[in-house]
Amino acid sequence: MSPGEKQSERRIEMNKLHCKKYGQRKRMEAIAALGGKCSRCGIDDWRVLQIDHITGGGNRKLIRTICRSKYHGVVVAEAQSGTYQLLCANCNWIKRYELRETGNYAVRPGGLDKRKK
């Protein structure tokens, strides 16, 4: 590998690291803007907190805005609108289960239950 190629690889790695840190900072800003804790159970461990689109469709918006850090910027800007809430991973899955947002299959105590479309 030539010195130019090594420098180019190092630049790419530094850029990835910068993007990762920037994304983490934007996520923390979004968590803070939404109150910093799960709306249901109150846990405040940022590692398990997820941004929930209250009426659903959060992923569609994320895909439309493409970049996750831009999505977090949208969440910060709309934090007071009541569009988003923070849920911990457990409460988010419970909500998905309650609203049947779990895909084509819902896991029930007796096994898988195929949903009708």
Binding footprint of Zn ion on the chain (CB under 5 A): 38, 40-41, 88, 91
Q: How far is the CB of 71 from Zn ion (least distance, A)?
A: 21
Q: Amino acid letter at 89?
A: A
Residue 60: name the closest of 45, 49, 71 by CA: 71
- The tokens of 8 are what? 């180019």
Q: Which is nearer to Zn ion, 18 or 42 (CB)?
A: 42
Q: Which is nearer to Zn ion, 62 or 92 (CB)?
A: 92
Q: How far is the CB of 82 from Zn ion (least distance, A)?
A: 18
Q: Which is nearer to Zn ion, 79 or 91 (CB)?
A: 91
Which residues contact residue 46 at a Cβ distance below 8 angstroms, ignoring those fewer than 6 apart? 28, 31, 36
Cα separation, 85 vs 75, in Å, equals 9
Q: How far is the CB of 35 from Zn ion (least distance, A)?
A: 12
